[in-house]
Structure 1
Amino acid sequence: MDDEDTLALVQTVQEEEIATIILFELVLSAPLSYRDRLLVPDFRLDILAMPDQEAKDQFRFIICDLQKLVEHLKIPDPVITKEGVRATALEALAICLRRMVYPQRWIDMAAMFGRAPSTLCQIFYFVVEHLDKTFADLLYFDSDRITKNLDRYCRAIAAKTPNYIEGVWGFIDGTVRPICRPGVGQQAVYNGHKRVHAFKFQTVRMELFVTHMDLLMEGAMTFIC
């Protein structure tokens, strides 16, 4: 390679470097989306340092009860999600409990736990899936009161209505719980049938006890059968 070829090669490399630098600067100077501009605090929530009253306000349990729940719910320590996110069992339980406080959004929880919304979501679903897998027998059916007595319940209902109802052991029912009129979004919780602002619960019940209760619903929503 002579001097002219060497000089041409150097110029080509320099031009490519300049183009790369310009492209990099353009990317950096581009306006960021709202999500990209979201800053997550650089810390981890020290749950054990929280006063019991604060823990109860945030998670509905005091610290010693949270520790007992971790043990009895058999949450692994540390928690490692399929995405590779790591958290202590206590933090994972706290995230799950905080998420279930209505209403609560991931973006609101980011400032509290010092974790990105996506990370909080991954930890929450790890705990939910763990509970679903570990306690499926308890979550899905009451084996002591229902499974062992289905035939007896069906016979009792059939005896009340001969030749009309067979194979039924419980009934879908709903309950409307009145609340104070909200200052914002009152239309969503106003129940036109009862003419009150309320929350609803849908249940499967028998004469003496409720066997299943669905999630809380706004008063304006219709029960699902």
Structure 2
Amino acid sequence: MELLLLLPELLGNAVTAAEAALLLSFEQPERPIIPDVRFCVTTLSDENCRQQFRFDVAGVIRLTELFALPEFVITGSRDKAHATEAVCILLHRLSYPKRHYDMIHRFGRSTSALCRIFMHVGTFLRRGAPAMALKGDLKVLNSWPRVVLVV
């Protein structure tokens, strides 16, 4: 309330009391807190990795190699993620229905960055990674047809 009374003095007669009240009535929306977390798949146990991504740590690393992603995935909006993190974002999102908001604490990224990385990797895989992947280890790729159907 004090600020409302001081605004005309601070800004001169350029702002009326009604305009000042209108300016103060707009509140900034509350934004989600994005934790300062760096994701590393090798810090997870095999069981936790299976629960979250449906592959163990070695399987995630092998999929990353088979997909032939560049070492760092860079989206059109300049989001940068290591290839294993990008594959984990894809697998985590496909493992069961969830929102990108639910993934913020796991990957330490905003919902929009998670969405862009997910879409970038999905587009990359649709454009030709399955042909490359089928030349590799079929044991690791047992669930590949399900992934293709979802992406």
Normalised TM-score (structure 1): 0.47
Q: Measure the CA separation in 2 of the matches of 1:125 and 1:15.
A: 47
Structure 2 gaps, min length 5 = 1-9, 134-144
Q: Which of these residues, 49, 53, 70, is aligned with residue 64 of structure 2? A: 70
CA shift at 1:215, angstroms? 5.3
Find the counterpart in structure 2 of residue 32 from structure 1: 28
Find the counterpart in structure 2 of residue 83 from structure 1: 77
**Quick one: structure 1 residues 101 and 136, their matched pair in 2 at CA, closer, same or farther if it must change by over 3 Å?**
closer
CA shift at 1:15, angstroms? 5.1
* Number of residue pairs aligned between Structure 1 and Structure 2: 123
Between 1 and 2, higher relative CO (CA 8 Å, sep ≥ 6) is seen in: 2
> Secondary structure of 2:127's partner?
helix
CA deviation map 1:150-207 (0-9, x unaligned): xxxxxxxxxxxxxxxxxxxxxxxxxxxxxxxxxxxxxxxxxxxxxxxxxxxxxxxxxx
Q: Within 5 Å, which residues of 2 pair with 1:205-216? A: none
Q: Measure the CA separation in 1 of the matches of 2:91 and 2:62.
A: 14
Normalised TM-score (structure 2): 0.69
> Secondary structure of 1:32's partner?
coil
More helix by share: 2
Q: Measure the CA separation in 1 of the matches of 2:123 and 2:38.
A: 24
Are 1:121 and 2:115 matched, yes or no? yes
Structure 1 gaps, min length 5 = 1-13, 140-211, 217-225
CA shift at 1:55, angstroms? 0.6
Q: Within 5 Å, which residues of 2 pair with 1:33-182? A: 33=29, 36-135=30-129
CA shift at 1:132, angstroms? 1.0
Larger Rg: 1
Q: Aligned partner of 2:61: which letter?
A: Q
**Quick one: structure 1 residues 120 and 30, their matched pair in 2 at CA, closer, same or farther if it must change by over 3 Å?**
same
Q: Measure the CA separation in 1 of the matches of 2:129 and 2:67.
A: 9
Q: Give the RMSD, CA atoms, in angstroms.
A: 3.0
Contact 2:66-2:132 at 8 Å conserved across structures: no
> Secondary structure of 2:118's partner?
helix
